[in-house]
Structure formats: C-alpha cells, structure tokens
Structure 1
C-alpha cells in the first residue's frame, strides 16, 4: 500500500484521467505498493522508490507489450508532475505485476458504454443527428458502441460532464463531415481531444472533405451509402488500425464469451469470421473461456466456435453428434 506517496495519489490519478484512460482505470490505490530502493545524502537527502502496480491477469494480458510501456511512461510522467515541489522523493521505476486478487476498476457513475463493446465517439452537428443515430444502430451489429450525445445522455443528467467522460474513455472517434461541421466549436473540440490523445479518428465524408489535422486520416466516402455500409467501413478501419486492432479483437472475443443468447453468439462468430485472422491470443481466450457459458455449448453455436478455432489449429473438447454434444473422452469407437 502507499505510505510516503499516499498524499500524491489523487493528483497522479487526475493527471492520468486526461492523459491515458486505461492507466486511469488501472491506477487504483488499493493495488499500489511503494518499495524503498535507497537513500542519497546529496542536496539534503533524496529517497528513491519503485512503485508496483498490481492488475488482474486478464487486464495484464490486454496491455502486455507496447500498451504496457505507454502506461508505465504516462504513470511515471504523472508522478513527476505531482512531485515537482518535492525534490526529496524520486521514482526510480514503475512496474506492472499480474495478480489475480487485484481490485478491478468500476466506474462510480452509470456506465455510458455497452459492456465489452468497442467504444466509438460519434461527432456530429445537431442537424445531422438522424445520420448519427442510424450509424449507432448499425455499428452495434459489429460489436461497436457508438456514443451519440442526444441518444446516450438522459435529459436529467449533467450533459457536459458525461460528454467529457465519453471523450476521455473512448477508444476512437468518427466525425460525420457536413458543411456546417467545421463551424461547430463543440465538434472541433471533440476532434481536438481525440487527436490530442492520439486516438484513431475516422472522417466520414458526406458533404466536405477532411480538413486540418483531420485530413491526415483516411476518409470514408459516404456518398450513396446507407448507414449499414458506412458502419461496415468504420468497423474495417477499427480492425486495421494498430491503435485499435487489439482493443477491438478483445472486445469481439469477450462479446462472444459472454453471449446471453445463441443468436448473439452466432452474430459475434460471423463478425470475427468476416475479418482476416485475429491474433492467436484472442482465439486462445475464446478457447479457454467458452465452456463456462452454457449458451456456447448449444450444438449450433459450438459448431460455429469449432469452425472458428480450426483457423488457428485449435478445437473445443466437445464434438457434435446429432442433437447433442459429447466430450472427447466419451467418443464412441
């Protein structure tokens, strides 16, 4: 637990809220441990520490690699900013440790995103709200929750606070570009926040081409397309971009694993199969967890999972015989 650094926790946590949403969610006080490294008598005395952050195994597997390094860098930067007025304390390093008893972050407010869905903020002007709403509906079929302010914020809620939470917890942003979009200070700020966080931005051209920094991104030409086809192109962009690919693949795997109906399970299998192969780690996640959900053991769903896993030279331990399944140990000879 924190002792020396306890008074700095809130400041560091607030820095992370605006720097790195994933780091913000992982940075829970109960999971932080300070380790004294050494003392230096120079300049009145300096104490050096290592900060250990414990996360669940599932969380660790999600961030392992480049994301882990970025999170460590952002936490280190947040500590350095918080400690500017105290030169007697120095963080040597931050380490992230997988630990299954770690406390998992749960929002203190009502969730604004669908559980396990990829999070896409849909930036649009009010006159274009029908297009935004229709896109939101079609994106759901691809495992993407499109946040549309007038649809997702209840009238009684403090809308600017929820809007801010959505912008700093999104995985990506798409902008529906019509003639008056560039004159909306709200839309420009939404895009600016996304660009500032280095989030994937997807310009959707209805009337105008992308402008400014938004012009760096490959646009989707919506001319003559219905909402369903635009949603498909958005999903393809999310799958291809290196910043969102892993998040999206993990979301699809979790949606399948946690399916509440066989129809939904088959839907997620179809979505996964519609893309080029996902990394083996996500197939292994499905393989590891599928048997815990009775929905996934239904014959038609199990057949779909077996077909999916065969692409990765894996198969479930259950096989279909007529209208029932049997374990590999009970196969007739």
Structure 2
C-alpha cells in the first residue's frame, strides 16, 4: 500500500532555473509529487486557494531560500501558512542569504556551495525517502487496524445472530 508523498515547493520565480534540477531529481522517488506553482497552477485558478490547499496537503514544505525569495511576498506568505499548519519546513539555500524571522532557527541545507550541493541533496533525498516510508508504514498499520476492527465487528454480529437463533 503505497501512497503519494506530497511536497510543496516555495520559491521566487527568479530562481526557477536553479530549482528545477532539484525538483526533477526528487520526482524520481516513486510516489513523490511536488506542487510547483509554475507548472501546476491552471488558468482561472484562485491562486491563494490552490496554494493554501497544496500546503495543507503537503507532507513537507521546501522553501528555496535566496535574496529573491526573502523579498517575495508570496514566499513569505507561504512560509506563514506552512508554519501555521506545523508543516515540516526545510529551507534550501540558493545563495548566501540566511533565513530570518520565524525560519532563523530552522536547520537548512546549503545548496549555494557547489562543493556541498551533492551531499546536501543526498541528505534531502534520504530524509524524504525515510519520511515517505514512515507514512506508507503508518497507513498500512492504520488499514490493518481497520480491517481487524471490521473482522471483530463481523464476528460479534455473527455471534449475536447465532444467539438470536437459539431462542427459536
């Protein structure tokens, strides 16, 4: 029983070329879906509603942090929504700009340093795979628990029917 693992990508449109390779690699993980506004928003969508829905549905919130992202009102609002919903937030630094405000104490991955980029991506990849496996395992256990409750209820119902038949 494998489910989708949803990632929300928050970014400045000025950084698209830097982030697309990262997202394309994450999409290689089976069952991972990434909400990437430039690809996923459709004509006529109410942007704020779609953004909020996808943050709510996300398992992990990735914020591609840069000087452009820090200046983007959309990125800052998306961070606020993610914080308000207690999402796992992972800042990925695209330049030397460090997260500030509510993200100042959140551990980030440094993609700005070419020498660290591969090891940082590997850490991100492994974190996502581990969290996806945990989600899949928890959903399987939940499904098994419901199955057990259903079997128990069915058995109890059959016992009640047998007790009713003994009265005749």
Q: Tell me the TM-score normalized by structure 2.
A: 0.68
Give 1:149 shift: 0.3
SS in 2 for 1:232: helix
- The answer to whether the Cα contact below 8 Å between 1:139 and 1:231 also exists between their aligned partners in 2 is no
- Larger relative contact order (C-alpha < 8 A, sep ≥ 6)? 2
Give 1:228 shift: 6.9
Distance across 1 between alignment mates of 2:90 and 2:65? 10
SS in 2 for 1:203: strand
Name the one with the larger helix percent: 2
Instruction: Please tell me whether residue 221 in structure 1 is matched to residue 102 in structure 2.
Output: no
Instruction: Please tell me whether residue 153 in structure 1 is matched to residue 41 in structure 2.
Output: yes
Larger Rg: 1
Distance across 1 between alignment mates of 2:79 and 2:122? 21
- The answer to whether the Cα contact below 8 Å between 1:122 and 1:176 also exists between their aligned partners in 2 is yes
- The answer to whether the Cα contact below 8 Å between 2:52 and 2:81 also exists between their aligned partners in 1 is no
Match among 184, 187, 192 for residue 75 of structure 2: 187
Matches within 5 A, 1:127-146: 127-143=14-30, 144-146=32-34
Instruction: Please tell me whether residue 196 in structure 1 is matched to residue 84 in structure 2.
Output: yes
Structure 2 partner of 1:249: 133
- Unaligned 5+ segments in structure 1 are 1-57, 59-114, 254-280, 289-333
Instruction: Please tell me whether residue 121 in structure 1 is matched to residue 11 in structure 2.
Output: no
Structure 2 partner of 1:329: none
- Unaligned 5+ segments in structure 2 are 145-168
Give 1:132 shift: 2.9
- The answer to whether the Cα contact below 8 Å between 1:173 and 1:194 also exists between their aligned partners in 2 is yes
Structure 2 partner of 1:178: 66
SS in 1 for 2:64: strand
Q: Deviations over 1:143-193 (max 9, x none)?
A: 432211001122343333221211111112111111121111110111111
Distance across 2 between alignment mates of 1:171 and 1:189? 18
Name the one with the larger strand percent: 1
